[in-house]
């Protein structure tokens, strides 16, 4: 076993994307005394917004809610292009001095919790050399996004090997790809496909969007007229806050209306699409999905750019199945053939939770699928660990901001009580559980078996509802359904009183073990030995937070 002393920090963030940078900014402000480091697998800040380089890459939700609550989005555009979002994340990191806290080129692959020492040992691999490095932390904060950076999802298409043209996945866009004057087929119907089609159609000879089944597509103005009006009249921060509230509320309204009155919503969406396409366009085949609105994420197109491109003939939409690739394109189940020199497989992502980080507690590897989420940001029985997973029906950052604030409050709570660890206790073992993510999108369904579960009541429910989470995460207690442990001095032989010592991030010692909760991962062993003894303080259980009856707590 290696014996060299490990570098230790109070909080180790994994991932320097939008969430990791935001989390570091918050932690620095809330707890400047804490040491904070970020491990980043890549050589750049920005995550998604640095990785994706395909033509037209942009946000598909508005920047007033995708931006951080603490730093107003500086532009008038509500829908922003990828490079502008990357600049925003980089500028935030620079302004808040977060850059110097990032260790680039280190992919964390295993984190081991020791109850005896109340700390995580994190193993990471250096990109350049493949060398393994280790460090320890009191609190592990995973801001690793939700998909694999290694490879996008590409189903295997028969005959693809004989296609004479080029096949490209948007996650690995070749910088030099020249599509000017060429015939392009984009396979897919999601946010990436509807972005690529108008962008490539600007110079391509023709672009065909080939979809197996349609998606709901909504057009919104790229510049929000209310934001433009407010910019001149209100101070920047106030205007930004107002826009954030307005857009969060409108998105939730649309989601709730879709869940409660799907037929009405479907009608409204269909009408919106039909009004932007030529008379006689087959809206029902190409834009009327079989599922209800918001059972999958909706696609947003700024200023109806997709519809304009289709209307003026530079692009077309085909709803069919691929039978096989041919030398010159694709043969479809209907018998039709599509000629192409370039085929873009906008077929999605591979979901990956915690950036592939394997967790172990006191030597036992945690199976994420056997755990239950707590407030959508911790796992039952997993001590001193939080993660960011944004909303599926609203901007990611709305949730990321709330989680970061919650982690700051939790750490403060622990410090005030001299606690060294905390772990959600887990719901009753008989409690009903459901898949963690309530979406029928392909990337979710492909990974459902390996994801944690969620309960049907708070705090085990993953709310896809910003306003409910505001109450739960920003204003609610941080000690409900949680066990806390603290380190106390051992009773000397004469029986003198014990003295607490240490806090979250205190020097290593023997000590605290998180007591196992019901249905939670049970850490094995309690390392009380040596000069310091451990004592699990009585779990602080606040039975009911917020809406008490299980039914009303449903998200
Ligand atoms: C093309 C595209 C467009 C999108 N548009 C929107 C949108 O408009 N609105 C919206 O709300 N959401 C959108 N999303 C979702 C988007 O991922 C989030 O908005 C947001 O960027 C996530 O930020 P993040 O920092 O949590 O994750 P990421 O951006 O994925 O960053 C995660 C970072 O963690 C690093 N990392 C991962 N695993 C490890 C590891 N094991 N060790 C070390 N480092 C690791 C990665 O290298 C990366 O830098 C989009 C996603 C894609 C792919």
Q: Which of 11-20, 69-78, 364-373 has the highest mean pLDDT?
A: 11-20
Which whole number is the average pLDDT over 349-368?
94
Shortest-distance atom of ligand 1 to CA 146: 30
Tell me which residue has its CA closest to atom 33 in ligand 1. Answer: 15
Closest approach atom of ligand 1 to CA 48: 29
First to last CA, the chain: 47
Quick one: pLDDT band at residue 439, thresholds 50, 70, 90?
Answer: low
DSSP string spanning 442-492? HHHHTTGGGSPEEESSTTTS----HHHHIIIIIIS-S-TTEEEEEEEEPPP
Q: Decide: helix, strand or coil at residue 369.
A: helix
Element (H, E) at 339: strand 337-339
Pocket test for ligand 1, best of 149, 396, 397, 398 (most atoms within 8 A of CB): 396
CA distances from 410 to 56, 244, 407 (A): 40, 25, 5
Residue ID of nearest Cα to ligand 1 atom 2:
48
Tell whether the model's pLDDT for residue 62 goes beyond 70. yes
| Phi and psi, residue 325, nearest 5° | -75, 150
The answer to whether residues 469 and 463 touch, using CB atoms and an 8 Å cutoff, is yes
Q: What is the mean pLDDT of residues 113-118?
A: 92
pLDDT-derived band at 393, boundaries 50, 70, 90? confident
Cα-to-centroid distance, 145 and ligand 1 (Å): 4
DSSP helix/strand/coil, 160: helix
pLDDT for position 490: 52
Q: What is the DSSP string of 522-538?
A: -------BTTEEEEEPP
DSSP class of 257: H
The predicted pLDDT at position 308 comes to: 98
**What is the C-alpha separation between 92 and 350, in angstroms, rounded?**
28
**What is the rounded average pLDDT for all residues in the chain?**
86
Q: What is the 147 CA–ligand 1 centroid distance (Å)?
A: 8
Per the CB < 8 A criterion, the answer to whether 504 and 415 are in contact is yes
How many whole angstroms from 48 Cα to the centroid of ligand 1?
4
Confidence of residue 428 (pLDDT cuts 50, 70, 90): confident
**Range among 73-77, 226-230, 249-253 rated most confident:** 249-253
Give the helix ranges, DSSP H, for 312-441: 396-416
**Ligand 1 atom nearest to 46, measured from its CA:** 49
How many Å lie between the centroid of ligand 1 and the Cα of residue 16? 9
The percentage of the chain sitting over the pLDDT mark of 90, rounded to a whole number, equals: 69
Report pLDDT digits (tens) over 523-554.
333 332 222 233 343 433 332 222 233 333 33
The hierarchical CATH code for the domain 160-345 is 3.50.50.60
CA distance 332 to 335: 5
Distance 47 CA to ligand 1 centre (A): 5
Radius of gyration of the chain (CA): 25
At residue 392, the pLDDT reads 84
Check residue 491 and give its pLDDT: 52
Residue range 33-54: average pLDDT? Answer: 97
Higher pLDDT, 431 or 325: 325
Pocket of ligand 1 (CB under 6 A): 14-20, 39-42, 47-48, 52, 57, 59-61, 66, 107-108, 143-145, 149, 192, 355-357, 388, 390, 395-396
The residues of the chain that CATH labels 3.50.50.60 are 6-150+351-482, 160-345
Cα 51 to averaged position of ligand 1 atoms, centre (Å): 9
Q: Residue 196 and residue 188: Cα distance in Å, rounded?
A: 10
What is the CA(390)–ligand 1 centre distance, in A? 10
Which residue's CA is the closest to the ligand 1 atom numbered 34? Answer: 15
User: Do residues 63 and 55 lie in contact, with contact meaning Cβ atoms separated by under 8 Å?
Assistant: no
309 close to 235: Cβ distance less than 8 angstroms: no
Q: Whose CA is nearest to atom 27 of ligand 1?
A: 145
* pLDDT(416) > 90: yes
Confidence of residue 128 (pLDDT cuts 50, 70, 90): confident
The partner residues of 110 in beta bridges, in order of sequence, read 123, 358
CA of 50 to the centre of ligand 1 (A): 9
**Do 390 and 15 meet the contact criterion of CB atoms below 8 Å apart?**
no
Percentage with pLDDT > 70 across the chain: 86
| Residue whose CA lies nearest to ligand 1 atom number 3 | 59
Q: How confident is the model at residue 4 (pLDDT cuts 50, 70, 90)?
A: low
d(CA 218, CA 198): 15
Right CATH for 6-150+351-482 from 3.50.50.60, 3.40.50.2000, 3.40.50.1820, 1.10.579.10: 3.50.50.60
- Of 35-49, 444-458, 512-526, the range with the lowest mean pLDDT is 512-526
Q: Is the pLDDT of residue 517 over 70?
A: no
Task: Give the pLDDT mean for 344-354.
Answer: 93
Which range among 5-19, 20-34, 242-256, 483-497 shows the weakest confidence by mean pLDDT? Answer: 483-497
The residue ranking higher by pLDDT, 278 or 491, is 278
Neighbouring-strand partners of residue 532:
489, 529
Among 77, 124, 144, the mutation site with the greatest number of ligand 1 atoms within 8 A of its Cβ is 144
Whether pLDDT at 1 is above 80: no
Tell whether the model's pLDDT for residue 502 goes beyond 90: no
User: In terms of Cα–Cα distance, which of 349, 314, 435 is closest to 172?
Assistant: 349
Query: Does pLDDT of 492 surpass 70?
Result: no
pLDDT score of 210: 98
Residue in 41, 236, 217, 27 with CA at minimum distance from that of residue 138: 27
Number of Cβ within a 10 Å radius of residue 254: 19
Q: Whose CA is nearest to atom 51 of ligand 1?
A: 48
Q: Which of ligand 1's atoms lies nearest the C-alpha of 59? A: 8
- The alpha carbon of 126 and the centre of ligand 1 are apart by a number of angstroms equal to 20
pLDDT at residue 554, rounded to an integer: 33
User: Cβ distance 27 to 406 under 8 Å?
Assistant: no
425, 517 Cβ separation under 8 angstroms? yes
Of ligand 1's listed atoms, the one at least distance from the Cα of 356 is 41
- Which amino acid residue places its CA nearest to atom 26 of ligand 1? 145
505 alpha carbon to ligand 1 midpoint, in Å?
28
Interatomic CA distance for residues 359 and 370, integer angstroms: 13
């Amino acid at each position: 076993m290696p014996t060299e002393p490990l570098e230790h920090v109070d909080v180790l963030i994994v991932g320097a994307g939008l969430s990791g940078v935001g989390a570091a900014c918050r932690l620095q402000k809330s707890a400047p005394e804490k040491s904070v480091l970020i491990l980043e697998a890549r050589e750049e800040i920005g995550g998604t917004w640095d990785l994706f380089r395909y033509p037209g890459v942009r946000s598909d939700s508005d920047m007033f809610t995708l931006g951080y609550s603490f730093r107003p989005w500086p532009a008038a555009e509500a829908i922003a292009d990828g490079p502008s979002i990357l600049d925003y994340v980089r500028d935030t990191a620079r302004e808040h001095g977060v850059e110097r806290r990032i260790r680039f080129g280190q992919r964390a692959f295993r984190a081991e919790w020791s109850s005896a020492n109340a700390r995580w040992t994190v193993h990471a691999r250096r990109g350049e050399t493949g060398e393994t490095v280790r460090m320890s932390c009191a609190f592990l904060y995973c801001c690793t996004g939700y998909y694999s950076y290694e490879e996008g999802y590409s189903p295997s298409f028969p005959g693809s090997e004989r296609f004479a043209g080029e096949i490209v996945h948007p996650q690995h866009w070749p910088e030099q790809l020249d599509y000017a004057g060429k015939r392009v087929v984009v396979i897919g119907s999601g946010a990436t496909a509807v972005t690529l089609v108008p962008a490539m159609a600007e110079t391509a000879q023709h672009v065909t969007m080939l979809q197996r089944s349609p998606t709901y597509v909504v057009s919104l103005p790229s510049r929000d007229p209310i934001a433009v009006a407010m910019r001149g009249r209100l101070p920047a921060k106030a205007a930004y806050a107002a826009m954030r509230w307005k857009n969060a509320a409108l998105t939730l309204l649309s989601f709730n209306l879709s869940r409660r009155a799907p037929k009405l919503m479907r009608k409204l969406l269909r009408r919106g699409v039909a009004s932007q396409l030529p008379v006689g366009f087959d809206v029902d085949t190409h834009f009327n999905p079989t599922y209800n609105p918001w059972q999958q994420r909706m696609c947003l197109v700024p200023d109806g750019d997709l519809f304009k491109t289709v209307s003026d003939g530079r692009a077309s939409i085909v709803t069919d199945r691929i039978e096989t690739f041919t030398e010159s394109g694709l043969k479809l189940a209907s018998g039709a053939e599509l000629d192409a020199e370039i085929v873009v497989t906008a077929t999605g992502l591979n979901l990956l939770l915690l950036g592939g980080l394997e967790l172990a507690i006191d030597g036992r590897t945690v199976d994420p699928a056997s755990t239950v989420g707590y407030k959508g940001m911790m796992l039952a029985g997993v001590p001193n660990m939080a993660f960011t997973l944004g909303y599926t029906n609203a901007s990611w950052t709305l949730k990321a901001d709330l989680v970061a604030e919650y982690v700051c409050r939790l750490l403060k709570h622990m410090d005030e009580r001299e606690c060294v660890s905390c772990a959600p206790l887990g719901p009753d073992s008989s409690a009903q559980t459901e898949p963690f993510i309530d979406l029928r999108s392909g990337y979710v369904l492909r990974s459902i078996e390996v994801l944690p579960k969620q309960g049907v009541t708070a705090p085990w429910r993953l709310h896809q509802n910003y306003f409910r989470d505001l109450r739960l995460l920003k204003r609610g207690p941080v000690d409900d359904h949680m066990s806390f442990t603290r380190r106390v001095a051992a009773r000397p032989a004469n029986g003198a009183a014990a003295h607490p010592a240490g806090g979250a991030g205190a020097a290593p010692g023997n000590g605290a073990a998180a007591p196992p909760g019901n249905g939670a991962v049970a850490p094995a062993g309690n390392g009380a030995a040596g000069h310091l003894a451990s004592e699990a303080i009585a779990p602080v259980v606040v039975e009911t937070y917020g809406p008490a009856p299980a039914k009303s707590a449903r998200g």
